[in-house]
Amino acid sequence: MYSKGKRIPLYVIATLLFGIKTYIVYRFLFSLEIENSMQELILVINPFVSAFLIFAISVWIKKTSRQMKYIRYMALIGTIIIFANLVFYRSFSDFITIPQLFQGGNVGDLGSSILSLIKVYDILLFVDVIFVWYLSKKHVNVVTTSYPRSGKVFTLALSFVLLVGNFFLAEMERPQLFTRAFDREYLVKYIGLFNYHIYDAALHSKVKTQHVFADGSELPQIKEYVKENIELPGQSDLYGVAKDKNVIFISAESLQSFVIGNTVNGQEVTPFLNSLLADEDTYYFENFYHQTEQGKTSDSEFLVENSLYPLSRGAVFFTHGQNEYHALPELLGEEGYYSAVFHANNKSFYNRDQMYPNLGYDYFYDVEAYEVTEDNSIGWGLKDKPFFDQSIKYLQTLEEPFYTKFITLTNHFPFELDEEDKSIERYDSNSNTLNNFFPTVRYMDESIEQFFEQLKAAGLYEDSIIIIMGDHYGISSNHNKAMSQYLNKEEITPYDHIQLQRVPLFIHIPGHGKGEIKSTITGQIDIKPTILSLLGMEVEDDIYFGNDMFHENRKDYIALRNGDFITKDYIYTNDTCYQFATGEPVGESDADACQGTIETVEKELGYSDDIIYGDLFRFVNFKQAN
């Protein structure tokens, strides 16, 4: 028999086990950068603070069976939350937000992508749950289940004292943590995964109310900002160079700039795209950055069509698909362009069937327009070569001029490819993801080359401009060790990480003859104004945050969605200002070099968010200049 004095509260056991497990996940499975001993202390404390707060509530449950049931299920639910975030993190180096939970309909389409992210050892996450379950079911006599009122009050008070202490330390180490929380990694590192989710829920409720209470009064300030900081006087030298031409836009899945002009196992990764670098009809932007966040491909589409920033949480296509927009397809439609999207995926994925009409697209050729078989599909669906092969017949039927977007699929995580489709060998590193990346990139390169030939054969090539853009990164920071090996670096620094956010942008204008490689700092936010300029179109009173990439007086920074930014002189990331040319942190004499741009970027991202959350374009009467 166990004496009553030797009994231990089950919530204490659950707290200790759950806290230890959570810390191990934080420290060794998430890549949370620890810069000093205070950050390490906070990281150790916050798992136990969160666990204590959750499990200590059980002392107020009088009935023993219900008290045990509460602890069991809280341990299980908490572990499922950790597991879900871990799987998500392995793919995106990010944490789940509430808007993404509403994208659950996409999960069925992820298939092998999710399975490849689950590890055998993940089962160990549930060991403490099993132990707590066993104790609460079979050995209730060894744990305390009854507490005096004073003990209950003390436990509750202690949980809140610990929580406030955690927040106090976090605010000391990271001032304005909650008001400048562009980066979810900071929140998880300083206040813990579960408190982060509570904060995310509160933020979600707040932004939902913005649409209800918005009345357009925010617009004058935003318009003034755009007029003073974004609008450019005059026109670029390439204004109207593609007037009345078709626009063919290729969104190249997960294509990053580090493969362009590079080799693997002695072979070119992208021989066709490399050939465009020397093509006199092609402009290549070597410092072009993706600016997507959790919406990935759909975020890149949103940027391209609107010249607005995506949201820091979830995908705009899902969370605000019913908004009013003033998008590129709508503007081109007013000038007589027919617009269509070609993408061999379910029309409901990323809510495209609702979002595309709101952007002004006339038609969407989704998976139903294609003949997809077991032989011509892999991974996420139809392979790129049959995709372009089957698309060309539809393209030939469109009324000209047209604006069309082609979204490829094959070069998508987990980068699967049939042996007969591989033209180059896999890389050899500790990362299967990076190893498999190169053959699928080569396959996509070959498919784009094939598409160019098909356009020529169909008589569409000469009357079109062709834009090829990488939509977002393909290799996340979880594979930095393998990436450093490939790039022959000792490590991937925060500076290197930002440079790996560069994606290719090719603007091919047949017969132009003046193409070149441009080093201008540009991003996806610039696509809409650039296309309008190339086509010789202007829009009065438009609201946007990008510039014509060919304009000499364009703004001197590109903002990433998390608040980082790039200028021709500096890169700002992880609260550090680096020299763009060398990657070295700025010296003490230049300590404030990035400060002005930090404030501008925060303001700009905030204005873009206001437009989306408040659906402010419903209050604007846009006019076309010509």
DSSP 52-81: HHHHGGGGG--SHHHHHHHHHHHHHHHHHH
Between CA 590 and CA 573 the distance in angstroms is 16
Phi/psi for 356 (5° steps) reads -60, -45
CB 407 within 8 A of CB 382: no
Fold category of 237-550 in CATH: Alkaline Phosphatase, subunit A (3.40.720)
3-state secondary structure 602-623: HHHHHHHHHHHHHCHHHHCCCE
Average pLDDT rounded to a whole number, residues 407-436 = 95
Tokens describing residue 119: 């590890």
Between CA 449 and CA 443 the distance in angstroms is 10
pLDDT in the model for residue 290: 98
CB 411 within 8 A of CB 255: yes
With tokens 């896999």, the residue in question is 426
Q: Which of 455, 346, 340 is nearest to 392 (CA)?
A: 455
Average pLDDT rounded to a whole number, residues 557-574 = 96
pLDDT digits (tens, 9 = 90+) for 161-201: 998 999 888 888 877 677 655 567 888 988 999 988 888 88
pLDDT in the model for residue 19: 94
**Lowest model confidence (mean pLDDT) among 163-167, 210-214, 253-257, 606-610:** 210-214
pLDDT in the model for residue 174: 77
pLDDT in the model for residue 142: 59
Average pLDDT rounded to a whole number, residues 144-151 = 74
Between CA 137 and CA 150 the distance in angstroms is 27
Average pLDDT rounded to a whole number, residues 20-31 = 92
Who wins on pLDDT, 7 or 439? 439
Domain ranges of the chain: 4-210, 237-550
Between CA 360 and CA 374 the distance in angstroms is 34
pLDDT digits (tens, 9 = 90+) for 235-271: 999 999 999 999 999 999 999 999 999 999 999 999 9
Known catalytic residue: 408?
Answer: no
* Single-letter amino acid code for the residue at 428: D
pLDDT in the model for residue 626: 46
Q: Out of 145, 282, 292, 297, which one is annotated catalytic?
A: 297
Between CA 334 and CA 623 the distance in angstroms is 10
Position 105 pLDDT exceeds 90? no
pLDDT in the model for residue 266: 95
pTM for this predicted structure:
0.80
pLDDT in the model for residue 31: 81
2 pLDDT band, cuts 50/70/90, is: very low
pLDDT in the model for residue 349: 82
pLDDT digits (tens, 9 = 90+) for 296-316: 999 999 999 999 999 998 889
Position 624 pLDDT exceeds 80? no
> Within 13 Å of residue 340, how many CA atoms lie on the same side as its CB?
21
- Taking all residues of the chain, what is their mean pLDDT, rounded to a whole number? 90
Give the CA distances from residue 108 to residues 346, 369, 396, in Å, rounded to whole numbers and listed in that order: 11, 20, 33
Position 115 pLDDT exceeds 80? no
- E strand residue ranges, 125-234: 143-144
